[in-house]
Structure 1
Amino acid sequence: MAQTVTANLLKAQGIPGQYQLAHNPTTRQLFVTGTFNYARAHGSTTSTIARIDPDTLRIEALAQLPVTSDNRDLVKGQYQLQGAFGLALDNERGTLWVGSASTGSVTVYNQDDLSLVWDSLAVGEQIWQLRELFIDTPGNRAYITTSGGYCTVDLDTFAVNYHYLTTQSGGSEAMLLGPIALDEKRELYIPDIMNNQILVVDLNTAEHVRTYDVPAADYKTLPAVVHGVEVSGARGELYVSTQGVQGRNSGVHILSLEGEPLDFIPYGKMPTDILYDAAKALLYVTDFGAPRSPEPIGGTVGIIDVTSRKVLGEIRVSETKTNHQVLLPDGAVLVSDKAGEHKQVRVPFHIDPFTGKFTAADTEERTGEKPRTIDADSITRVQVQVHGEPDATVFPVFSPSLRVLVEDDGADVEILAELPEGYPIQITGSGWFKEHPGYGPRVGSEVIIEGDGVELARVQVQAAHFGALLTASVEFPAEWKAGQEHVITVRSGEAEGDIARSLGIPVRIVEAERHMPAPAVATVDTSVQHTDFAGYPKFP
């Protein structure tokens, strides 16, 4: 009997701008951070940490976050909250650690009453572009990932030490994200999104000891874009979620504990968090969706069996933007999203940006912006049941040959050498920049795609952290038939500032039956129960 999945869901209103979850199994307390409407032009004036009952999903308490000045040009002289983003628990001391990407600060709170214990800004310590936090109780350190490396903070004295890693392969500064994972050898695995690597840190010395490369999957001209990592010491495997580019190279890489690539499981538009349940041998992978894609989708959790390495199904949790997860001792998974399903909610954890005073509100009014309603996200408790046994059969996978052409200026194109008749033509590439005037950010070119000299599509390439990446899905020409040979040309040079390039790729058309796309992921049968919202509690 093939494996099937069913699930029971309990869903409730959470807080606006949710980021991460953490759970204390001893006290059975759940915590979630939320920071709403944070942008480069201004910090957040709506943010908190909520303590939640993991069984009923009722919000029990809220943290009143520190207020600080906002010195960005547009809002200079105004105020912001030290927004709550990354989250980790020190259960031995009964504290929770929170990172604020908006203010470059770390704050520590008491788990019971959410009172402030320590604030890095109060002692003049700023940690910019911080991301994930990890508490190593035996080593008496908190680990905080940042741009360029990571830092450690003593759990008792709060002394900060920096570990810079700016010489990773590829020439880019390390940008360490998460979630991060710990194995039985006390080694920490930290994703580096800029260089598509996993950094291994020895917790006994707090030093970086190894680096593993995470390769691109099906599309070699596009980056993998690593995001989260999990580890199974018993199986000797690392599981790395990769976001890819608009669904290309998106999924889960499996590596050995020595960094050898073992397998790739395609899944989702933009996978974010990855969670391993050793008892069930399951991976849970959230699909945030690709916001700038024509089909953003997202809002699901994929269920992957690590024995058969198959996606058993996906659970629809929200309309879009499933984000973070935590595993409970009873096997339930709690999932946060950023879908903003609950519209214009009135919250007590909002400040007036001009006075810095807390004032309840359901709408934000910020300098230079139209009024924006405060929308809350959801928390969902997911209980999965797997029926049947893992299928050990190894199925052959159609692996079409790829042809990559690279021009002298660095622009390249990748396409199937054999195109299945009737299917949209997938074209990817990188390096499609306009000429750079020597100042300001680089800009992507307008790319023209032709078939035998006839224009099929025009694509405006967007420049991003990873380069000017071309991703195009072109309608298949109706007159092209199996057995024919044609030439796909990808060129630029018509728009102002574009470099004149022309890459021609000969292709052969094959019968559609020879094209074996990955089967659609089955939607898991679910029963959904909604918890009535009891309101936000007052501050202690």
Structure 2
Amino acid sequence: MSSLKPSGTLGLNAGVARLAILAGAMALSLGTAMAQSFEQPDKDYRGQVRLGPATRGQPLIAGGEVSVQGQNFKPGQQVQLLKGTEKVGEGAFTADAEGKFTAKFKLPENAAVGTYPLIVTTDSPYYADVVKLKISPKIPLSGQDKFVLASEKLSPGLYQVGYSEKSNAVFVTSAAGRPPVKNSEILKLDPETLKVVARVKPQDAPEGGVYAVYGLGIDDANGTIWVTNTRQDTVAVYKQSDLSLVKQFKPGLATHARDVKIDEAKGYAYVSQVGVPEIAVFNTKTLEKVDSIEITSKARGEKFSPASLDYDPRTGRLIAVSLSTNEVAVIDTHSRADDKVFPVKGGLSTIGVAYDAADDRIFVAGQGSDNLLILDAKSGEVLHDVAVGAGSLNVAFEPKSKHAFVSSRDAGTVTVVDANGKIVANLEVAPFANHVVADGKGGVYAVNKSLNPEDTNGDRVTLITPK
């Protein structure tokens, strides 16, 4: 296999890129075999090919082994994977009696970091499709001597973590299993020992399972925590003191609710809705949904899809990042307007966001581009583009050190980056580092997930403090 270099078509619209690749493949075929007959393409093609690291919980880097998994093909069908005109792997893959196949191939040691569109072709009947292969940067561990890490194992499926200054407590959400999710908890921890002091299971949901909890927002003004019930498209409110339920909102009020941030002064909860270009707004005193803030994408024909949120109480700014369009919005919550929407140049599948109010900078984690981008909040200019590891998912800004802490799921690390875009440390929080939050006192809490039920390193909360 020749050395890999990322395709320049990645900056184009995905549909245009796909057509260009397939057209190129067809043109080559016509030039070399004009006399070939053209059979009818498969009208019922449902084939799926997935590419990823051969070892679960490890990033896919240069020299690594790639797992190829195919399904929904016709029994005995031949499937080839091409990079341009070159075959990837050792030839054609043959679907078994269930229409599936599995294979592996090794990446060249000099493979460049990036995302590659590869062509999937089938015979009998013919079809062609495109699948993406992402090769991530290898960021070595470093700076362990600068921090102290203390951790405790908690419930399966840890999702988000939050710190309450008023209660001097840490709160964690967990949800594990396929829908209808039956295993979910909210946990209250001692902030120093990380021991569980209270826990509660959500109520039963109408469609089965429970109102599983994912996102988490702290409301110290009312002594409550807000959680997102992503599966039921809604939210719920619990007391910080004993985790008793204050209100379970009805399903459907916030589509695919992910993050929640609290404006304690004005009494509002802002909830991101993945797939919907709106932030849902709830009143934290009356406990009613009162409004929505619409965000208009600057990308032609696209919709802003808010994922992570951050909120600055001093300016009333709400920062939202779009997973679908690689944009960030700066929202004035006084006027309820998205007064600035910037493209995040160099970011793919942007999902995590944090705001530094003192220096007016926005930190964006790109899950598809494995990087942290630092933006000027006034102009949207990208000041620094930092490779932090595979699957950078969430970011927290720690104001005392002025460092950003980035959790990278596939790399299993929390990377500490200074305001100038330099890596201060790259700490192991493996496997599947998921979420990070600053406590406002110099420390950062992180949670991760597990490889399997027997994994002793997974489902942990970790307190990271500077030495």
TM-score by length of 1: 0.56
Percent same amino acid at aligned positions? 22
Q: Separation in 1 of the partners of 2:427 and 2:145?
A: 9
Residue 323 of structure 1 corresponds to: 434
Deviation at 1:135, TM superposition (A): 0.6
Q: Which amino acid aligns with 2:170?
A: L
SS in structure 1 of the partner of residue 232 of structure 2:
coil
Structure 1 counterpart of 2:342, from 212, 223, 231 = 212
Residue 173 of structure 1 corresponds to: 303
SS in structure 2 of the partner of residue 102 of structure 1:
helix
> Contact 2:317–2:332 (CA<8 Å) still a contact in 1?
yes
Q: Separation in 2 of the partners of 1:167 and 1:287?
A: 26
Segment of structure 1 superposing worse, 104-113 or 277-286:
277-286
Residue 76 of structure 1 corresponds to: none
Does 1:301 find its partner at 2:426? no
Q: Which amino acid aligns with 1:45?
A: K
Residue 232 of structure 1 corresponds to: 356
Q: Separation in 2 of the partners of 1:19 and 1:47?
A: 10
Residue 504 of structure 1 corresponds to: none
Residue 330 of structure 2 corresponds to: 200
How many residue pairs are counted as aligned between the two chains? 322
Assess, with a 3 A threshold, how the Cα gap between structure 1 residues 341 and 52 changes in structure 2: closer, same or farther.
farther
Offset from partner CA, 1:30-84 (integer Å, 9 cap, x none): 100001013xxx22010010111111111111113110232xxxxxxxx210000
> Contact 1:170–1:195 (CA<8 Å) still a contact in 2?
no
Assess, with a 3 A threshold, how the Cα gap between structure 1 residues 271 and 140 changes in structure 2: closer, same or farther.
same
Deviation at 1:342, TM superposition (A): 5.4
Deviation at 1:200, TM superposition (A): 1.5
Q: Which amino acid aligns with 1:314?
A: N
Q: Which runs of 5+ in 2 are unaligned?
A: 1-142
Q: Which residues of 2 match residues 94-113 of structure 1 at below 5 A?
A: 94-113=223-242
Q: Separation in 1 of the partners of 2:329 and 2:359?
A: 20
Offset from partner CA, 1:82-126 (integer Å, 9 cap, x none): 0001110111111111111111121111111111111111xx653
Residue 52 of structure 1 corresponds to: 189
Assess, with a 3 A threshold, how the Cα gap between structure 1 residues 285 and 178 changes in structure 2: closer, same or farther.
same
SS in structure 2 of the partner of residue 67 of structure 1:
coil
Q: Separation in 1 of the partners of 2:416 and 2:455?
A: 33
Q: Which residues of 2 match residues 131-150 of structure 1 at below 5 A?
A: 131-146=258-273, 147-148=275-276, 149-150=278-279
Residue 12 of structure 1 corresponds to: 152
Assess, with a 3 A threshold, how the Cα gap between structure 1 residues 27 and 341 changes in structure 2: closer, same or farther.
farther
Higher RCO (C-alpha under 8 Å, 6+ residues apart): 1
Assess, with a 3 A threshold, how the Cα gap between structure 1 residues 344 and 317 changes in structure 2: closer, same or farther.
closer
Deviation at 1:341, TM superposition (A): 6.2
Q: Separation in 2 of the partners of 1:376 and 1:285?
A: 18
Q: Which amino acid aligns with 2:323?
A: I
Q: Which amino acid aligns with 2:203?
A: P
Q: Which runs of 5+ in 1 are unaligned?
A: 71-78, 217-222, 290-297, 346-374, 386-540
Residue 137 of structure 2 corresponds to: none
Q: Separation in 2 of the partners of 1:25 and 1:276?
A: 17
Structure 1 counterpart of 2:374, from 254, 261, 267 = 254
TM-score by length of 2: 0.65
Assess, with a 3 A threshold, how the Cα gap between structure 1 residues 235 and 329 changes in structure 2: closer, same or farther.
closer
> Contact 2:281–2:292 (CA<8 Å) still a contact in 1?
yes
SS in structure 1 of the partner of residue 305 of structure 2:
coil
Structure 2 counterpart of 1:281, from 385, 402, 418 = 402
Offset from partner CA, 1:381-407 (integer Å, 9 cap, x none): 12223xxxxxxxxxxxxxxxxxxxxxx
Residue 21 of structure 1 corresponds to: 161
Residue 91 of structure 1 corresponds to: 220
Offset from partner CA, 1:368-392 (integer Å, 9 cap, x none): xxxxxxx96111112223xxxxxxx
Does 1:337 find its partner at 2:426? no
Q: Separation in 1 of the partners of 2:185 and 2:206?
A: 17
Offset from partner CA, 1:223-269 (integer Å, 9 cap, x none): 6221222222332322211122xxxx321112112112222111111
Q: Which residues of 2 match residues 427-466 of structure 1 at below 5 A?
A: none
Residue 269 of structure 1 corresponds to: 390
Does 1:130 find its partner at 2:250? no
> Contact 1:180–1:228 (CA<8 Å) still a contact in 2?
no
Q: CA RMSD in A?
A: 2.3
